[in-house]
Amino acid sequence: MEKFIGKLFIEGEITLLTGLHIGGSKETGEIGGLDNPVIKTIRGIPYIPGSSLKGKIRCLLERKGGFQPERNEGEPCGCGSCNICLLFGAHSNKNRTISRLIVRDSYLDEEQFIKEVLKNSFEDITYTEEKTENIIDRIKGTAQHPRIMERVPAGAKFKFFSSISFYERDDINSLTKSFIEGLRLLEDDYLGGSGTRGYGHIKFNNLAFYIKNIESYIKNNEKIPITTSKDLSSINIEEIYKEIYNKLQVNQK
């Protein structure tokens, strides 16, 4: 059994630079409802499921490669020992690992949305927009029935929460670096559907890093701040490594 030594928390904001469409289920019995609704909370507010973020980041890291040289192209890794398997879990029954990464569901900053996206117009608070997409029949070259997509408009912000658990024998630097790489790859790719039509361009802002060590859990549950960063480009990774080891009270390998 591997011994747990603490957690790194990476939190911040996700800003939509373009409209976002993460598909939800069409509400049953709704007449004239959209064919392509976005996923929403029970209160009807759009959110970003942690599984969507995690799945996309994993996929981009797998595509980038360099983790497990002998894996089958196009299949999620199941080796049980590379950074992808350690962070996201192995796609294999025999090489099971503890998934170290948790990405929470990201909820909309409603106050910011009303103020900055709706410009304080309270008359009709709606958190999504409708966009008509013409689908071109590739063979005939003619336009088919237009499709109406629901999306969360550009400018919306979501609260982002993630954490990585560390165990005694982990290469802490390497796991942290891989996750940050994944976040950076996601910014230059897209989240959700219709990315090639320009949807789903996101940016991570106002990042904050915290540590909880074993003592935190036993004593006062303190989340120890280590650093902040305005975006993914200004992260001081060396400082983060140093602070993680320092605050976890373990020696750097």
174, two tokens: 């390497």
Which residue in the set 22, 85, 172, 183 belongs to the binding site for Zn ion (CB under 5 A)? Answer: 85
CB of 68 to Zn ion, least distance (A): 4
CB of 137 to Zn ion, least distance (A): 41
Among 249, 244, 245, 227, which residue's Cα sits nearest to residue 236?
227
Among 206, 219, 215, which residue's Cα sits nearest to residue 247?
215
CB of 78 to Zn ion, least distance (A): 6
CB of 47 to Zn ion, least distance (A): 30
CB of 253 to Zn ion, least distance (A): 20
Give the sign of the dihedral formed by CA 97, CA 252, CA 10, CA 18: negative
Query: Considering beta carbons, is residue 68 or 228 the nearer one to Zn ion?
Result: 68
Tell me which residue has tokens 């410009």.
119
CB of 108 to Zn ion, least distance (A): 34
Contacts of 234 (CB under 8 A, 6+ apart): none
Residues 46-75, interacting with Zn ion (CB under 5 A):
68
Query: Considering beta carbons, is residue 14 or 79 the nearer one to Zn ion?
Result: 79
Q: At 196, phi and psi to the nearest 5?
A: -75, -10
The distance of Cα 238 from the centroid of its chain, to the nearest Å, equals 23
Which residue in the set 79, 156, 207, 232 belongs to the binding site for Zn ion (CB under 5 A)? Answer: 79
Is residue 92 close enough to count as binding Zn ion by CB under 5 A?
no
Angle in degrees, 0-180, between the axes of helices 172-187 and 50-64, rounded to the nearest 10: 100
Which residue in the set 10, 38, 48, 77 belongs to the binding site for Zn ion (CB under 5 A)? Answer: 77
Is residue 87 close enough to count as binding Zn ion by CB under 5 A?
no
Considering CB under 5 A, how many residues would be counted as binding Zn ion? 5
Q: Which amino acid is at 57?
A: I
| Dihedral over alpha carbons 53, 104, 101, 152 (to 10 degrees) | 10
Is residue 82 close enough to count as binding Zn ion by CB under 5 A?
yes
Q: Which residue ranges make up the site for Zn ion (CB under 5 A)?
A: 68, 77, 79, 82, 85
